Amino acid sequence: MPDTPRRDRDDDGRPRNARPRDALGRPLPPGSQGVPQLPEDLNLSPDETLALAQQLLDDGRAFSAHEVFEAAWKSGPDDERSLWQGLAQLAVGITHIQRGNPTGGQSLLRRSAKRLSEAEPRYGIDVTALIGFAGALADDLAAGTEIPAARLRPLLQR
């Protein structure tokens, strides 16, 4: 039986992926130069989360923005879970589009709109506009419309 590569694990035995990644979150070969990765234990205030995620989205790094939102939902209060999950799904939907997967993008954008519709708006997040953004983008993907990169930078706050 061939040797299987061992997966990186943290001190608690949870799997971690130490491989470098490109700007779209795809793993690169070991030893490659990837984009800077966010710490696994990221714990920011809501305002810091939104500022960092907005900058990442503006820079075309939706996968990294997804990781920021994921950290917020894992470390935040339960009553904010739908909000942060919906934002994470929005970022993953954009990531799928960036990676050339319109079907995956459409699916995640629709899930994002549904999740955001269940969320209570907070922190100046323009939930209504983001639901409309996700729905319009998903509709255009379904229609086969070409989506320019500039359109993949939603404004998170009013």
- Average pLDDT per 10 consecutive residues for the chain, totaling 158 residues: 53 64 80 80 92 97 95 92 97 97 97 96 96 98 96 95
Q: How many CB atoms lie within 10 A of CB 138?
A: 22
Question: What's the rounded Cα separation, in Å, for the pair 131 and 126?
Answer: 9
Question: Could you tell me if 109 and 90 are in contact, meaning their C-beta atoms sit under 8 angstroms apart?
Answer: yes
- CB neighbourhood size of 1 (10 A): 3
Tell me how far apart the alpha carbons of residues 50 and 65 are, in angstroms, rounded to a whole number: 9
Q: Under CATH, what is the fold of the domain 46-145?
A: Hyaluronidase domain-like (1.10.3450)
Please state the φ and ψ torsions of residue 57, each to the nearest 5 degrees. -60, -45
C-alpha pair distances (Å), 65 with each of 2, 38, 55, 57: 37, 10, 8, 6
Strand partners, 27: 21
- List, for residues 61-105, the tens digit of each pLDDT value: 999 999 999 999 999 899 999 999 999 999 999 999 999 999 999
